[in-house]
Chain A
Amino acid sequence: MITQYIPVVLAFAFAAVVSGALIGLTAFLGRGRLGGTRTRDTYESGVPLLDGSRKRVSVRFFVVAMVFIVFDVEVAFLFPWAVSARGLLAEGNNAVLLDGLIFLVLLAIGYVYLWREGAFDWSRRRSES
């Protein structure tokens, strides 16, 4: 069974070599021609840097990441169900569909809660609560 991963290993090795070679090639062929004194400055539309670039970012990115983790894990749970459901349905075992629907209803409850909390509203809007 492990032999099915031989192409994967080959592809990983190949892609690693090619991507390394790309960066190496340009480093080799384009070396040592650094021009003016400001060439290596950080770009900020041509004006001198006002302050540091690593600023605090909107908390909404964090909310999106958190919601994503929750939903993605639940989608991961659905994969084994989806793959095995076909065979069970073919046997006339329709209860497997009910299992999936119950899981989706639980997901939907969380989804509705998040919607009401405003987790999906990117533009700033005062919620009523």
Chain B
Amino acid sequence: MWASAAVSAAKLVIVAVGLLTAVPVMVWVERRGAAFIQDRLGPNRVGPFGLLQPVIDAIKLVFKEDLTPANVNRGLYLLAPMVSFFVAMVTFIVIPFGAGKDITVFGVPLGGLSVAPDLGVGVLFLLAIGSLGVYGIVLAGWSSNNKYSLLGGLRSSAQLISYELPMALAVLGVLLSTGSLRLDDVVTRQAEHLWLNFIPQWNLIPQAIGFVVFVTAAFAETNRLPFDLAEAETELVAGYHLEYSSMKFAAFFMSEYINMTTASALIVTLFCGGWTFPGMQHFSGWWLLVASVGAFFVKLAFFLWLFVWVRWTLPRFRYDQLMRLGWKGLLPLATLNLVWVGVAMAMRWI
């Protein structure tokens, strides 16, 4: 038991370091990507290609004056960024990022390359803990005692809970075709049947509607454009984190990027076959592990880039449009996807 706990701890440290490294890299990609899309240079002074810019920003934020505005509810005001960051750090543990079922490290079975591979509730854990993130935003908006913050927090919480339904329904479609809550099973199930004997049959094709709904909801759940109504600069200045500065602001900022990574990883796992890749059956052991982790990261990088790409391509929604899309558009579509998957399974089509 202690050995397996040690393996879990080691995997946890790897995942946490990976996530925290992904944040500055993503910030850099975002700023350089924005510059690329808008035909300008972007940050290119600090380090090669401006790669050290996020590091400088982080140092600046750490040493910034720790300011607590006079009128805030101090306890909740300090708690809110911690809640956001805590939730962001915890949710990734159920996502499998590589094949490793038959590999042992120092005699301890790895049991799958995610921090909690045996967790029976799997994706349910992710949905449950992930939706706690709304508390961080609501608390920040309310405790700041600022009109902009309050409006941003309220808008954001209404948005998050509205898009949670289509998201959960789209996940249900995948669970229906998998028959298990564990994400490892979701991945292996997608590699069970092959087209032309080497292309894994990903959920992307049979559940295209669910995929579109899930990706859209993921954008809304991570507060990214075109759904970043929570911090619509032109209306709310900065929204729920208006009164935050220094690392307290950075905690919100980092949790947004970590949530983005988790959402992309979840899209990859549920709909794009996770760590599976064409021609997988010719690999085994450590080679399979390395290749599968590589495949996972390539897919993850694509969806992370999609977040950036969409942000600098689409304008922001209006709030009533956002609500209409969520309740009148995505919710029926997600239900339709669920019915389709059920009927297709009964008819033996998928």
Task: Please report A residues at the B interface, Cβ cutoff 8 Å.
Answer: 1, 3-8, 10-12, 14-16, 18-20, 22-23, 25-27, 29-31, 33-35, 39-45, 53-55, 57, 60-61, 64-65, 67-68, 71-72, 75, 78-79, 82-87, 89, 94, 97, 100-101, 104, 107-108, 111, 115, 119-123
Instruction: A11-B12, A23-B251 are known; give 6 further A-B pairs, CB within 8 A.
Output: A10-B115, A20-B82, A44-B146, A86-B177, A101-B339, A107-B335
Q: Does B154 contact A (CB under 8 A)?
A: yes
Q: Chain A residues near B146 (CB, 8 Å)?
A: 42-44, 53
Task: Please report B residues at the A interface, Cβ cutoff 8 Å.
Answer: 1, 4-5, 8-9, 11-12, 16, 61-71, 78, 81-83, 85-86, 89-90, 93, 115-116, 118-120, 124-125, 142, 144-150, 154, 157-158, 161-162, 164-165, 168-169, 172, 175-181, 237, 242-243, 246-248, 250-251, 319-320, 323-324, 327-328, 331-332, 335, 338-339, 342-343, 345-346
B77 to chain A, nearest CB (A): 10
Q: Chain B residues near A10 (CB, 8 Å)?
A: 5, 8-9, 12, 115
Is B116 a contact of A22 with CB atoms below 8 Å? no
A-B contact count (CB 8 A): 215
**When A19-B89, A57-B154, A83-B175 are in contact, do A101 and B65 touch as well, CB less than 8 Å?**
no
Choice from B70, B118, B175, B327 contacting A82 with Cβ under 8 Å: B175
Is A122 a contact of B246 with CB atoms below 8 Å? no
Alpha-carbon distance between A83 and B169 when the two chains are bound, in angstroms:
13
Choice from A3, A30, A31, A68 contacting B1 with Cβ under 8 Å: A3
Is A87 a contact of B179 with CB atoms below 8 Å? yes
Q: Chain B residues near A82 (CB, 8 Å)?
A: 172, 175-176, 338
Residue of B nearest to A69 (CB): B161
A68 to chain B, nearest CB (A): 4
Choice from B4, B86, B149 contacting A6 with Cβ under 8 Å: B4
Is A11 a contact of B115 with CB atoms below 8 Å? yes
Alpha-carbon distance between A23 and B68 when the two chains are bound, in angstroms:
12
A33 to chain B, nearest CB (A): 5
Q: Chain B residues near A54 (CB, 8 Å)?
A: 142, 145, 150
**When A10-B9, A41-B69, A64-B161 are in contact, do A101 and B342 touch as well, CB less than 8 Å?**
yes
